[in-house]
Structure 1
């Protein structure tokens, strides 16, 4: 049992806000605990948080309805399993303004940029509905390859998670909990930056949707393989969480025992509106194919 209460770490009323946090206070609380160091764990358990950043909170640039409750359930899960979660890793979606999925990259025949959530297909390009402002040949190749490889069509997103802005930072209450764990269990939070290639979208944590050169994060895959169990949650369920789980499951597809120890917290993620039906079918197919475990946080016993 922890000396520090959940409410001393997390202020649920402030989830999704830009509350200034004092890391020194978090460290001070964590130092009051007497937990064994994570390197002494017999069973190694990793929690992987996908894009739990301000711009994916409900008031953010790509606000995901339900994100605040997701954060509360995730932080309670981390608190209740503080002594059993060995390490925590998080992804940080990080972009510049000029990227292929942002409006500035494209114009219509009148020179207007597309609105957010516009889908751009190869037919649109053939009909001159949209054209890239820069890197024209590479941009056309990108859209074409997305379709040929069965990936999601190119979607134009609002400007989000711009490097150096508050929107790109971890949600504050989640941030406090994972850094509390870091001190209490004497381990470092692994932070994985993704999405900086201007000519590709990177929903999944392992590799872009399509790229001309191999950008697979082999170091991260090797890191994941060191654990006995992997628990995943975050935002958004329909895109970054789903693609991350799919990429990880595909990489470890020959290791049946390891795949059965991938747990996705169904109450720790929410879908971007408009993608619900597609999302539901995709998760069922993924679960059936790879035997990953879709569970609620209160049902998972470590």
Structure 2
């Protein structure tokens, strides 16, 4: 590498706007002389889930540990630029008027729920919480969550609103993504998720409750098959990372060759507080059932 890590990734500006311009970054990348990603004999995808400003430690839905996760993920990319064939990034993307935001619901006094309030089907049936928008569909949604043994509806702080800084890819990690793109001639894959107003969407494949039998992002699922290894990082480990993995692994349940290609870099993700033990239990179950690898960015080696 000709470009020092800190010329690309400023550890003191995680979650803040980058001061390096893309044209300057491009000039540095051009000096690297790395082979085209298309020439890689082993195809490796680096899948970064929701590594966005609002999930950083000073964001609207801050995940403790996210700054170190971003550092670790960027260091890994930097150290293995010549090995990583492609990078895919998912972007949680919302509007204020969505079923998991406070504005959607009111109590009997007209007050909106505080962030992190859990709304159950009993709460809606009793009138404890009333949907301001689409009341019949809202009741059907919380009912369906219960029937499918999904997480109960949680009211989240407003976050990742489309067009805001919080919805953007974290700037320093983004620098490394685009540096890789320019140095390896590899276009990043962008996955926009979470725009359905009547459902949460933790996973990158489909909403928590799909309407009309929607099978989800089949194009992305097929794209994953083009890689020999898929490395997973992101936020939050307890929600969007976990559900993304479940959706991918459920789809490829009968394809052990595909599920065994997936590696989770556990030091590049953190859970939302209060979900630590349930998250570890869930990941252990995925390891046992599907044979995925869970390791750290420091421990993972390549041929």
Q: Do the structures match in fold with TM over 0.5? A: yes
For 2:191, the equivalent position in structure 1 comes to 192
- Measured against aligned partners, the alpha-carbon deviations of 1:180-233 in whole angstroms (never above 9, x if no partner) come to 000110010111110001111110000000022215001111111111100000
The question of 1:271 aligning with 2:260 is answered: no
For 1:227, the equivalent position in structure 2 comes to 227
Quote the RMSD (CA, aligned, Å).
Answer: 1.0
The question of 1:205 aligning with 2:204 is answered: yes
TM-score, reference length from structure 1: 0.98
For 1:249, the equivalent position in structure 2 comes to 249
Give me the whole-angstrom Cα distance separating, in 2, the residues matched to 1:107 and 1:290: 42
| Secondary structure, aligned partner of 1:16 | coil
For 2:50, the equivalent position in structure 1 comes to 51
Residue 300 of structure 1: CA displacement?
Answer: 0.8
Residue 129 of structure 1: CA displacement?
Answer: 1.1
Residue 20 of structure 1: CA displacement?
Answer: 4.2
- Aligned partners of 1:105 and 1:133 also within 8 Å: yes
- Aligned partners of 1:73 and 1:267 also within 8 Å: yes
- Aligned partners of 1:64 and 1:270 also within 8 Å: yes
- Measured against aligned partners, the alpha-carbon deviations of 1:146-192 in whole angstroms (never above 9, x if no partner) come to 11111111100000000000000010110000000001100101111
Give me the whole-angstrom Cα distance separating, in 2, the residues matched to 1:242 and 1:285: 11
Give me the whole-angstrom Cα distance separating, in 1, the residues matched to 2:20 and 2:203: 29
Please, which runs of 5 or more residues in structure 2 have no aligned partner? none
For 1:6, the equivalent position in structure 2 comes to 5
Give me the whole-angstrom Cα distance separating, in 1, the residues matched to 2:285 and 2:62: 26
Matching of residues 63-102 of structure 1 within 5 Å: 63-102=62-101
- Aligned partners of 1:18 and 1:172 also within 8 Å: yes
| Secondary structure, aligned partner of 1:201 | coil
For 2:217, the equivalent position in structure 1 comes to 217
For 1:240, the equivalent position in structure 2 comes to 240
- Measured against aligned partners, the alpha-carbon deviations of 1:41-70 in whole angstroms (never above 9, x if no partner) come to 111000000000000000000000000000
* Cα pair distance change 1:137/1:129, threshold 3 Å: same
Give me the whole-angstrom Cα distance separating, in 2, the residues matched to 1:287 and 1:141: 33
| Secondary structure, aligned partner of 2:221 | helix
Please, which runs of 5 or more residues in structure 1 have no aligned partner? none
Residue 19 of structure 1: CA displacement?
Answer: 3.4
The question of 1:118 aligning with 2:139 is answered: no
For 1:36, the equivalent position in structure 2 comes to 35
